[in-house]
Structure 1
Amino acid sequence: MTISPASLSQRIADGIVDLIRADGLAPGDAIASSRELARRFEVTTPTVREALRRLEATDVIRFRHGSGTYVGDGMRRRLMANPHVGTTDLASVLELVEARRTLEPPIAAAAALHRTDDHLAALERASENALRPQRADERPDEHFHIALAAATGNPLLRETVEALLQVRRVDQIAIRHGYDDRERDHREHVEILEALRDADPVAAADLTRSHLDSIHAALAARADEATS
Structure 2
Amino acid sequence: MPIQTLEPQRLYRQIAEQLRELIGKGEFAVGARIPAERDLARQLGVSRPSVREALIALEVEGWVEVRTGSGVYVLDRSQRTPPPANGAAGIEWGPLEIIRARRLVEGETAATAAQHGKRKDVDAMRRAIRMMRDMAARNEVPHEGDRAFHLAIVNACDNVVLTETVQGFWESRHGPIFARMIDYFETMESWQAAIGEHELILDAIAARDPAAARSAMHEHMDKFHQRFSASWRRTKAF
* TM-score normalised by L of structure 2: 0.51
Residues 92, 205 of structure 1: CA spacing in aligned structure 2 closer, same or farther, 3 A cutoff? Answer: same
For 1:216, the equivalent position in structure 2 comes to 225
For 1:117, the equivalent position in structure 2 comes to 119
1:15-164 equivalences in 2 (<5 Å): 86=88, 92-131=94-133, 132=136, 133-134=140-141, 138=144, 143-164=148-169
The DSSP-based 3-state class of the residue aligned with 1:153 is coil
In the alignment, is the contact (CA less than 8 A) between 1:112 and 1:196 conserved in 2? yes
2:213 is aligned, of 179, 204, 207, to 204
Partner Cα distance (2:237, 2:151) in 1 = 33
In the alignment, is the contact (CA less than 8 A) between 1:146 and 1:162 conserved in 2? yes
Structure 2 alignment gaps of length 5 or more: 1-86
Structure 1 alignment gaps of length 5 or more: 1-84
Q: CA deviation at 1:182?
A: 2.5
Q: Does 1:169 align with 2:174?
A: yes
Residues 188, 123 of structure 1: CA spacing in aligned structure 2 closer, same or farther, 3 A cutoff? Answer: same
1:172-191 equivalences in 2 (<5 Å): 174-175=181-182, 178-180=185-187, 181-191=190-200
Partner Cα distance (1:102, 1:114) in 2 = 19
User: Which amino acid counterpart does residue 218 of structure 1 have in structure 2?
Assistant: R
In the alignment, is the contact (CA less than 8 A) between 1:112 and 1:200 conserved in 2? yes
The DSSP-based 3-state class of the residue aligned with 2:208 is coil
Partner Cα distance (2:209, 2:224) in 1 = 23
The DSSP-based 3-state class of the residue aligned with 1:199 is coil
Residues 177, 104 of structure 1: CA spacing in aligned structure 2 closer, same or farther, 3 A cutoff? Answer: farther
Partner Cα distance (2:117, 2:183) in 1 = 26
Partner Cα distance (2:112, 2:166) in 1 = 14
Residues 115, 216 of structure 1: CA spacing in aligned structure 2 closer, same or farther, 3 A cutoff? Answer: same
Partner Cα distance (1:95, 1:192) in 2 = 22
* TM-score normalised by L of structure 1: 0.53
- Aligned positions, number: 142
Partner Cα distance (1:192, 1:224) in 2 = 29
Partner Cα distance (1:173, 1:125) in 2 = 29
Partner Cα distance (1:172, 1:152) in 2 = 29
Per-residue displacement from partner, 1:39-81 (whole Å, max 9, x unpaired)? xxxxxxxxxxxxxxxxxxxxxxxxxxxxxxxxxxxxxxxxxxx
Moved more, 187-196 or 157-166: 157-166
Residues 124, 95 of structure 1: CA spacing in aligned structure 2 closer, same or farther, 3 A cutoff? Answer: same
Per-residue displacement from partner, 1:142-184 (whole Å, max 9, x unpaired)? 5211211111122321121012211342326844872432321
Question: Identity across aligned pairs (percent)?
Answer: 28
User: Which amino acid counterpart does residue 212 of structure 1 have in structure 2?
Assistant: M
User: Which amino acid counterpart does residue 113 of structure 2 have in structure 1?
Assistant: A
User: Which amino acid counterpart does residue 168 of structure 2 have in structure 1?
Assistant: A
In the alignment, is the contact (CA less than 8 A) between 1:188 and 1:211 conserved in 2? yes
Residues 176, 209 of structure 1: CA spacing in aligned structure 2 closer, same or farther, 3 A cutoff? Answer: farther
Residues 146, 172 of structure 1: CA spacing in aligned structure 2 closer, same or farther, 3 A cutoff? Answer: farther
